[in-house]
Chain A
C-alpha cells in the first residue's frame, strides 16, 4: 500500500500536462475566490454569458497562435516574434479588400471569400519569408522574425494607407461574433477547429514525428533522410497562416483593421503559452494540448489582472516576470541545482538515521 501510493503520485506529477493543468487550476481558483460567480453561465439575449465564457472566447486568437508557435519552437528551437505584426497585416489586407480601398464601408465591395483567401495568402507569405531566412539561410529564428516584427506594422499601415479601415457589415462580424442564433461565440469554434485539424494532421501523418526529430537534431534527421530545411520552412509558413486566421478573427471582433493595435503584445502571450504548456523553448518534443491549456491559462490571467484594475499597457510587466520564472525553472542549470540539493538532503537524512 505504502509502495503504490507514491508511484501513482509520481505518475501524475511526471505527466507532461501536470504543470500546465496545475497552473490553470490555480488561476481559476484565485478567480473563484475573488468572484464566486466566476463559473456561472447564463443566457442573455440568446447567447451564453459569463466570466468563463468570456475567457474561453477571448482566448481563441491566442490558442490559434500558440498552436503555430509550438510547431515553430519544436522544429527550430526558436520563436516567431512576428506573429502579432502578421495578424495586423492579415487584418489590413482583409479589411482593405472588403472596403474596396475606402476608409469605411457599409456593404462588401468584394466577396468575403476573396478577402479571406487574400489575407491568408499574405500571412502565409510573411511566414514563408521568415521560413526562408531561418531554414534556408540558417539565421537565428528570433533575429529573422525581428525584421517582420518591426516592419510588419509598417506594411499594414501602408496597406490601409495609415488609417483605420472600418467594415460595418453584419456578415463580417460573424467571424468574431455569433452565427445566427447559436449561443456559443464563433471564435471558439474556429480555435477548436484549428487546433483539432493541426492535431489530426500531425498525428495521422509522420509530420509530427518529423518536426520533433528535426528539432532534436537537425543534421541527424537530414542524414536519416528527412528534408529538415523543408520541414522547418513548412512550420514557419503554417505559423504565418495561423497568425493570419487569428488576425481575421481579431479584426472581425472590432469590425476594423487597426494596424497599430491588432495583435499587440500577443507574441509574448503566445510564447508564454508554449512555455507554460510544458514545452521546452529549445525545441524538440512538443505537446499541442499543453500549449492550448497554456493559452487558456494566460487569458484567464489577463482577465484576472484586468479585473484587478491593471491597465492594458501595464500587463506586460507581470507577463515578463512570469516568463522569466518559467524559463528559469526550465533551465538545465537550475534543474541540476535542484537535483543536487535533493541528493544532498537524502544523504544527510540517511546519515542521520545511521547515526
Chain B
C-alpha cells in the first residue's frame, strides 16, 4: 500500500511539470493576445501559423525526446537539417532529380546519421555527446562541401507541395467583413500524424516501454533481460529518421539550402523537450510535453517578431533562460524526491 502511494507521488511530480509547461504556454499566448490584439495575435490563423512554422521542430523534438528518455542526447540535428536542405536543393536544382527521389534522399541521410551515431553510442559505448558533436561538425562541413552558395528551390512540384493550403472550417473576418478561412500546410498534417504515432508508440508499444526502462535504470533493465544495446541503437536510428523527416518539413518552409541554415537548432529541439518535462538524466518524458515545448518556443519567437524592435538574438537568449529555469526546476524536484525516499 505504502509502495503504491509513493509511486503515485512521483507520477504527480512529473505531471506537475507538464501542467506548468501547458500553463506557461497558455499564459504567454494569452498575454500575447492581450498586448498585441491590434496586430492580429487573437486570430485563429495566428495559432495555426505556430504549427506551420514549427512543424519541423515538432518532429525533430519527438526524435530527441526518444533518445533523451534513454538518457542520451543528439546535438547533430541542426546540421542534419542544413545538410538535408542543401542536398535536396542541389539534387532538384542542379542535378534535375525529381522531388520524390529528393525526399527519399532526405530520409536516407537522416537514417544514415542515426545508424552510424547509434552504432558508436550503443555498441562501442562512447558518450552520446562526443559522437553527436562530431556528427554536428561533420554535417555542417559536408553541407559546405556540397555547395558554399545558397541554392533556392524553384522546382514546380516541390513548390506546389509547399504552397498547398488546406482550409479549415473556421476563420476570421477582415475589417471589411470578408470571411477569411484559416488554413494549414501539409507539413502540419505530417507533423501531427508523427506526433500521434510517437505518443502511441511511447505509451503502448513494447519498444516504447523498453526505452523508459533503460532510461530509468540501465543496469536493472539489463538484468530484467532487455536487450539494452539493441534498443538504444534503434532509438538513435528512429531519431535519425525523424531528423531526416523533420528536415524535409523544414525545407518545405524555407525552400532553400545554405550552410548557415538552422544553426543552433539543436538547442531549440533540446529546449522544447526539456521544457516539455523530459529529464536530462533519462527515464521521464512525453512527446506531448515536447509538443507544448515546441509551441512555447514558437510563441516566444512570434512575440519577439511581432514586437518588432528586438533583435532575433533575443529568441535564443529567452529560450536559454527558460531552459535554465526548467533545468533548475527539475533538479529541485529530483532533490525533493530523493529526500522523500530517504
Contacts and interface: CB of A to CB of B under 8 A. Distances in A.
Contacts of A313: 140-141, 144, 148, 259
A151 interface: yes
A155 B317 contact: yes
Contacts of A151: 316-317, 320
Contacts of B126: 327-328, 331
Given A137-B327, A138-B331, A317 B141 contact: yes
Given A313-B148, A333-B124, A333-B125, A139 B327 contact: yes
B317 A154 contact: yes
B106 interface: no
Interface in B38-60: none
Interface in A124-144: 133, 137-140, 142-144
Interface hub of B75, B131, B135, B138 (most chain A Cβ within 10 A): B138
Contacts, number: 117
Nearest to B316: A154
Contacts of A139: 280, 327, 331
A16 interface: no
Interface in B79-129: 120, 123-127, 129
A319 B144 contact: no
Contact of A323 (B130, B266, B316): B130
A138 B266 CA distance: 21
Given A146-B270, A311-B148, 14 more contacts: A81-B133, A137-B327, A140-B73, A142-B133, A143-B73, A143-B327, A154-B313, A154-B316, A271-B130, A271-B133, A319-B141, A320-B135, A324-B120, A333-B124
A341 to B, nearest CB: 16
Interface residues of B, number: 40
Interface hub of A151, A268, A315 (most chain B Cβ within 10 A): A151
Contacts of B266: 146
A265 B134 CA distance: 11
A354 interface: no
B328 interface: yes
A331 B133 CA distance: 16
B277 to A, nearest CB: 16
A327 B141 contact: no
B316 A150 contact: yes
Contact of A268 (B137, B148, B320): B137
Interface in A144-177: 144, 146-151, 154-155, 157-158, 162
Interface of A: 78-79, 81, 133, 137-140, 142-144, 146-151, 154-155, 157-158, 162, 265, 268, 271, 281-282, 311, 313-321, 323-324, 327-328, 331-334
B145 interface: yes
Contacts of A150: 264, 267, 316, 320
Interface hub of B141, B145, B264, B328 (most chain A Cβ within 10 A): B141
B133 A147 contact: no
B324 interface: yes
B317 A320 contact: no
Given A157-B311, A162-B311, A319 B127 contact: no
A308 B79 CA distance: 25
Interface hub of A81, A150, A327 (most chain B Cβ within 10 A): A150
Nearest to B332: A137
Interface in B125-172: 125-127, 129-131, 133-138, 140-142, 144-145, 148
B234 interface: no
Interface string B248-268: 000000000001000010110
